[in-house]
């Protein structure tokens, strides 16, 4: 088995995301829902896939399974060539920090930290060796001039940009994005998703974005739909 460490250098990645026949039931004995029903999904490095579908279809469950936050009842999940099932609890947490970036609805930044500190904290938590310069990354998302600003001093779109920079700071192989435009107007939504697509392509990250926003789908390489826990393309 290859390890995450061996494959952190761009170009040597076999990587991306490979979910095979994942099943996940949620709830108690009385009312169980099949959140994921035999779901298979492959996302290559440098590819951005949008997941759409009605409320309750299983989109968040898909992100949770891909992000090593939830273990499926059956099936397998490989990220950058590593089978998540082979990782113990501590290794799984470290793997998540080093290999998987998360972008949430409204940035989810820490209120007391400025933009640069948000990125530095993620690097510190990951204990990353092969790290990017936080200021360079903030410049890449057009936010270097706000490196010392705290979240309450930023607009919604700016917070999302910092959140995107933070998600990329440990050179993840997989980026999981949950409704990134939920709090943004149309123009900011286009900017943010275009930025995600550019970073996905330039950095060779495999990106999965859950969205209800059909106006941003043209930025994505592929769109898949979830209905009742099942995936169709
Ligand atoms: N903790 C839980 N316990 C029981 N059932 C749950 C739990 N979390 C989610 N579910 C159920 O699992 C199914 C899939 O939920 P999920 O959150 O993955 O859907 P979603 O497509 O992300 O929905 P939305 O677009 O509304 O966020 C739904 O029927 C939901 O009610």
pLDDT in tens, 155-173: 988 998 999 999 999 999 9
Give yes or no for residue 55 CB within 6 A of ligand 1: yes
Mean pLDDT along residues 165-186: 91
Q: How far is CA 46 from the centre of its chain?
A: 13
The pLDDT-based confidence of 27 (bands split at 50, 70, 90) is confident
Q: What share of the chain is helix, strand, coil (3-state, %, to 5)?
A: 35, 25, 35
pLDDT at 4: 41
Q: What's the pLDDT tens digit per position in 95-114? A: 999 999 999 887 789 999 99
pTM over 0.95: no
Rounded-to-integer distance, Cα 77 and Cα 120, Å = 29
**Centroid of ligand 1 to alpha carbon of 86 (angstroms):** 26
Q: Whose CA is nearest to atom 4 of ligand 1?
A: 27
Helix axes 89-99, 115-126, angle to 10 degrees: 140
User: Radius of gyration over alpha carbons of the chain, in Å?
Assistant: 17
pLDDT at 3: 40
Instruction: Give the ipTM of the model, two decimals please.
Output: 0.94
pLDDT at 17 over 70: yes
> For residue 199, which of 164, 159, 155, 162 has the smallest C-alpha distance?
164
Give yes or no for residue 142 CB within 6 A of ligand 1: no
Give yes or no for residue 33 CB within 6 A of ligand 1: yes
Q: Whose CA is nearest to atom 28 of ligand 1?
A: 56
Q: Whose CA is nearest to atom 14 of ligand 1?
A: 58
């Amino acid at each position: 088995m290859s390890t995450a460490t061996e494959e952190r250098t761009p170009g040597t990645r076999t990587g991306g995301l490979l979910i095979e026949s994942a099943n996940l039931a949620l709830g108690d004995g009385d009312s169980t829902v099949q959140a994921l029903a035999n779901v298979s999904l492959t996302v290559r490095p440098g590819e951005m896939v949008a997941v759409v579908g009605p409320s309750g279809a299983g989109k968040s469950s898909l992100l949770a399974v891909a992000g090593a936050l939830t273990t499926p009842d059956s099936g397998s999940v490989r990220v950058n060539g590593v089978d998540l099932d082979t990782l113990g609890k501590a290794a799984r947490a470290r793997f998540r920090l080093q290999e998987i970036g998360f972008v949430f609805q409204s940035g989810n930044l820490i209120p007391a930290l400025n933009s640069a500190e948000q990125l530095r904290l993620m690097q510190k938590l990951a204990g990353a060796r092969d790290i990017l310069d936080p200021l360079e990354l903030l410049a890449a998302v057009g936010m270097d001039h706000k490196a010392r600003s705290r979240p309450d001093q930023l607009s919604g779109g700016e917070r999302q940009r910092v959140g995107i920079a933070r998600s990329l700071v440990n050179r993840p192989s997989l980026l999981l994005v949950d409704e990134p435009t939920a709090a943004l107007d149309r123009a900011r939504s286009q900017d943010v998703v275009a930025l995600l697509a550019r970073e996905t392509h330039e950095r060779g990250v495999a990106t999965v974005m859950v969205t209800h926003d059909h106006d941003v789908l043209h930025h994505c390489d592929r769109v898949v739909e979830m209905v009742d826990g099942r995936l169709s393309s």
